[in-house]
Structure 1
């Protein structure tokens, strides 16, 4: 009996053995729940049997083996059986490894039962190859969808956590500011100052986390454009950074018309991220230079720092979230962040229809920001 015919005639026996194999390993719940979970597995078996029952030329087989891209929908535009299985597993708290066990047990159940029913010399090698390819396609479909569901749930959780942390953090900072204003002695003032600085640092990390989650949820960076004098924004940013990094020299040069329609708070965040990055990774005994130039249609910002060239691997990944280059220098734990600064700066630039580019050689690194001077909807 060919494998496709065997799967159609013995679907329930295959599912029974699959269930017996998976339940002890995954610690699945009651049999009533398994009645629901078996439905997508049954559909996978039916789909695979249908695929391998259709005659296929050698050329078509080779083409099929090269196509490993997971499908997002089936031919009718609905969720595939593999996606349904992934969704149900994710909703029940299964790990991706536990879900992979479903497929390993399903593969084993089919082939073992088929081998038991058929003579060894009657087993068709071509059937086995096509069965493995079809089942691997369903597995790829499930893994892609499972990862998407888990990532979506994680980002929603982090987004809610970040939102809920804002109020208590603001209370801490406000109370610390009140203590600092009481003039209750040097020890109290020093403690309040430490709380204020730590609160500001936590607020910055929290804002980065919330912005990151907005982008991962497909919402993008939220901006509120209005008339802005970039010179004022730049002065404010540089004054704050000079106070924090009093040991570093920051030179600023501005020329041309620096007025435009932007979100001032977001542009301040963007510029701050670029300058802080230059301070962190530039040679400590050199200055950071910021050049702002207004043209007819846009404003251009260049942030220069001197030091070793950025290697190619770092250049490729440094604008991606939570990524660092292989040769990025180590730094103290208390000076680190979430690795989101350049990523968020890039997303803010995109929200303003602008872009950030970087270039580096043996003597200096330059980050260039192009910011169109126009309204946004």
Structure 2
């Protein structure tokens, strides 16, 4: 009977998947925020593997002694990572997914007279193995998200604190009132920025599945923000940092702290990986739909292979781990911030033209107020 049940599962895989998806959408609220293809991501392979395992054994004792369901482990780990990046998913809801699948299989096989104790044991063992690895991956991915968010914030908070410390240190050497006041304002602004980043750090500690950074949108001049970042970076780095911008003002709704951090991260990387003492250029372009911020540097380009994965949030590549990790921490935030602004990021890098990061920010999709951004796996 086990071989007949295995063949039935293979032949009716799409019907089983449709039934499962319908039940999940009706019983698990978080599935409403998950695209159909992502929701189904594990099922075809899992059902195929269950059928294959079922077809290999006719004796229960032989199955329990020899079977480890190794073929379902990798896809189950991937399933957990997807769920960690899906809004509002919890461990309980992952368990519910598997309970529903077990129920669908049982309710489908019984009318066909293809269900007995041996088949029940095989199905349960396979699903429990898959569920265990999926939950483990889900928890590991959530922890990785928190560590990356906290890591990028902790890294970024050092810059304004260092700038404030520098300003306070040189104030005692300044005699002219105007110069003293400018330095005082610089220190005050740097400490204000530090407080904003620390607030974000606290938010990141409590991040849940599918969530990214917290942003505080308000109507402001993005050109003014770019100039402020450029002026501060000029004080820190030896490279010449220039701005190319035709507009005197660009008033739009955005998060000034987040956009400032985006530029700071890109400038830091441009200095670190670009040509020594070569100019770095910030371009501010715009059209009806977007503001486009571009940061260009000369120097060694990013390889085509690394360009494909450099923005991946849960990047597990081992190629040049030190360098990719350093890039990835900042670019993790850059990508999330762009998406949270209704935009996206692009990259162009070659020997002839150098490296340019493009950050597209929507001019019309954002509203004033505090929001938590969404994290989309593999996009």
TM-score (normalizing by structure 1): 0.52
CA deviation digits over 1:152-196, x for unaligned, max 9?
A: 578679999999x9xxx9xx99x9799958969xxxxxxxxxxxx
Corresponding position: 1:232 with 2:224: yes
Alpha-carbon contact 1:314-1:324 (below 8 Å) kept: no
Structure 1 residue 250, shift from structure 2 partner: 1.4
CA distance in 1, matches of 2:149, 2:240: 37
275, 282, 286: which one aligns with 1:290:
282
**Structure 1 282/200 Cα, relative in aligned 2: closer, same or farther at 3 Å?**
farther
Give 2:245's match in structure 1, choosing from 249, 254, 275: 254
The answer to whether 1:56 aligns with 2:46 is no
Segment drifting more, 226-235 vs 134-143? 134-143
Deviations 1:260-287 (A, max 9, x none): 1111111111121222222222122422
Aligned match of 1:351: 340
User: Helix, strand or coil: the match of 1:224?
Assistant: strand
C-alpha distance in 2 between matches for 1:290 and 1:357: 15
Instruction: Give 1:147 shift.
Output: 3.0
Choose which of 349, 352, 363 in structure 2 pairs with 1:373.
363
Q: Which residue of 1 aligns with 2:129?
A: 139
- Relative contact order (alpha carbons < 8 A, sep ≥ 6): 1 or 2 greater? 2
1:310-342 per-residue CA deviation (whole Å, 9 max, x = no partner) reads 2233112211236486665967xxxx8694211
* Residue among 302, 311, 317 paired with 2:303: 311
Deviation digits for residues 209-235 of structure 1, max 9, x if unmatched? 657656654333222222211221111
Query: Does the 8 A contact of 1:287 with 1:305 survive in 2?
Result: yes
Do 2:311 and 2:328's aligned partners in 1 also have CA atoms closer than 8 Å? no
Q: Could you report, residue by residue, the CA deviation over 1:19-43 in whole angstroms, capped at 9, with x for unpaired residues?
A: xxxxxxxxxxxxxxxxxxxxxxxxx
Query: What are structure 1's unaligned runs of at least 5 residues?
Result: 3-51, 79-106, 116-126, 185-198
> Take 1:182 and 1:244, find their aligned partners in 2: how far apart are those partners?
17
Partner residue, 2:370: none
In our comparison, the structure showing a higher alpha carbon Rg is 1
Structure 1 distance, partners of 2:64, 2:332, is: 53
Distance 1:330 1:146, change over 3 A: closer
Partner of 2:42: none
Cα distance, 1:153–1:369 mapped onto 2, change above 3 Å: closer
**Is 1:111 aligned with 2:102?**
no
Q: Structure 2, unaligned stretches of length 5 or more?
A: 29-56, 66-116, 174-190, 368-379
User: How much is the aligned-residue C-alpha RMSD, in angstroms?
Assistant: 5.3
2:225–2:256 Cα contact (<8 Å) kept: yes
Q: CA deviation at 1:288?
A: 1.2
Q: Determine the C-alpha separation between the residues in 1 that align with 2:278 and 2:143.
A: 45
Worse overlay, 355-364 or 320-329: 320-329
Q: 1:255 to 1:214 in 2, by over 3 A?
A: farther
Aligned length in residues: 260
Q: What whole-Å deviation, never above 9, does each CA across 1:321-371 have from its counterpart, x for those lacking one?
A: 36486665967xxxx869421111111111111111112222311111122
- Give the secondary structure class of the aligned counterpart of 2:266: helix
Q: Report the Cα distance in structure 2 between the residues aligned to 1:159 and 1:305, rounded to whole angstroms.
A: 26
Tell whether 2:312 aligns with 1:320: yes
Aligned equivalents of 1:361, 1:162: Cα separation in 2:
27
Q: Measure the CA separation in 2 of the matches of 1:344 and 1:337.
A: 12
